[in-house]
Amino acid sequence: MAHLGADVAAYVDGQLSETAMQAATRHLGTCDECAKAVRQQALLKSRMSTVATPAPPPRLLESLAGLASATPVRETWWERVCRSVPFRAGLVVVGASVAVIVAAYAVGSPDGTTGDTVVPPYDRYAADFSGATTVDASNTISDATMSQLDGSGWPCLATLAGDLRRTSGSYVDHHETVALSYSNGDAKLNLYEQTGVLDHDSLDGFKAAKMGSALVWIRDGVPMLVTWDDDGVVYTIATNADRGRIARAVAELPKGAYRQGPVGRVGDGLSRMTSWVNAA
């Protein structure tokens, strides 16, 4: 049969005729596109009804608490998010930073060439490395949420370069950047991930270098700063680890692994958000 199209809502509401219902169910078994539409519709319905609502995942909500008031400041990508109808639905549903940040990834430039150029605050990252700032508790990202981000194009690996273990994760810079800290008790590595394309004009003091198969920009010092972009996400590392270990960490992070068309990214992002909520 043809795609469900406008019948998606009726299907979810159980308002199709028995025959149509059976045909639709058969179709859903073979059509990812319609199955995704049904999941989204079911999600919308469950979150928008005021009675008999299934309980949302408490840990997800917990991790989102206090974050929903964040106001996006970079209008350019935000406007793109708002124009994206599937994401408008997703944002209504989830309405918080995870949705925003996943959306930011999903609508980011697929080829890494047309996104907003960004200048990571290198000096502040260096100062943060020395312990100058503490993270506001409300900006902490729970382990569960990091797992979700990790599946949505924001690598939040539990370990890097062998024995560097993730010690914390938080949102910084108006919730537009994911900041992760790693340590093995000796070496320490902070990793920042934000959407955009690296502004090459801002790299004074950096030198281009090859690390494994990756082209990165390095600023020597303590901490050493390493930055690069891939597929619409800018990665910046601040670390006192030795160069060999940094190279291993870089090799474990994306340099094209997440490449995919924008439509697929939006769909994947939404279906992941849907599955988190449905899994509760």
> x/- string (CB under 5 A) for Zn ion, residues 60-79?
--------------------
Token pair belonging to 40: 């989204």
Q: How far is the CB of 167 from Zn ion (least distance, A)?
A: 45
Q: Which is nearer to Zn ion, 1 or 280 (CB)?
A: 1
Closest Cα to residue 178, out of 191, 161, 167, 188?
Answer: 191
Q: For the segment 150-189, give every residue that binds Zn ion (CB under 5 A).
A: none
Q: How far is the CB of 88 from Zn ion (least distance, A)?
A: 22
Crossing angle for the helix pair 85-94 and 262-278, nearest 10 degrees?
20
Q: Name the one range near Zn ion by CB under 5 A: 30-38, 49-57, 73-81, 201-209.
A: 30-38
Q: Which of residues 31, 144, 157, 209 is near Zn ion by CB under 5 A?
A: 31
Ramachandran area for residue 153 (φ above 0: left; ψ -120 to 50: alpha; else beta)? left
Q: Which of residues 1, 3, 83, 280 is near Zn ion by CB under 5 A?
A: 3
List Cβ neighbours of 160 (8 Å cut-off, separation of 6 or more).
166, 182, 189, 191, 248, 249, 252
By CB under 5 A, the count of residues binding Zn ion is 4
Separation between Cα atoms, residue 273 and residue 60, nearest integer Å = 10
Q: Which is nearer to Zn ion, 36 or 245 (CB)?
A: 36
Q: How far is the CB of 24 from Zn ion (least distance, A)?
A: 9
Q: Which of residues 8, 12, 24, 34 is near Zn ion by CB under 5 A?
A: 34
Q: Which is nearer to Zn ion, 3 or 207 (CB)?
A: 3
Q: How far is the CB of 34 from Zn ion (least distance, A)?
A: 3
Q: How far is the CB of 16 from Zn ion (least distance, A)?
A: 14
Separation between Cα atoms, residue 195 and residue 107, nearest integer Å = 10
Token pair belonging to 4: 């469900």
Q: Are 51 and 100 in contact (CB under 8 A)?
A: no
Q: Which is nearer to Zn ion, 27 or 59 (CB)?
A: 27
Closest Cα to residue 153, out of 204, 102, 202?
Answer: 102
Q: Which is nearer to Zn ion, 1 or 257 (CB)?
A: 1
Q: How far is the CB of 192 from Zn ion (least distance, A)?
A: 40
Q: Are 212 and 251 in contact (CB under 8 A)?
A: yes
For residue 20, state whether it binds Zn ion (rule: CB under 5 A): no
Q: Which is nearer to Zn ion, 5 or 131 (CB)?
A: 5
Q: How far is the CB of 39 from Zn ion (least distance, A)?
A: 13
Q: Which is nearer to Zn ion, 33 or 143 (CB)?
A: 33
Per the listing, tokens 């992941």 go with 272
Separation between Cα atoms, residue 170 and residue 98, nearest integer Å = 11
Token pair belonging to 128: 């943060």
Separation between Cα atoms, residue 183 and residue 146, nearest integer Å = 17
- Binding site residues, Zn ion, CB under 5 A: 3, 31, 33-34
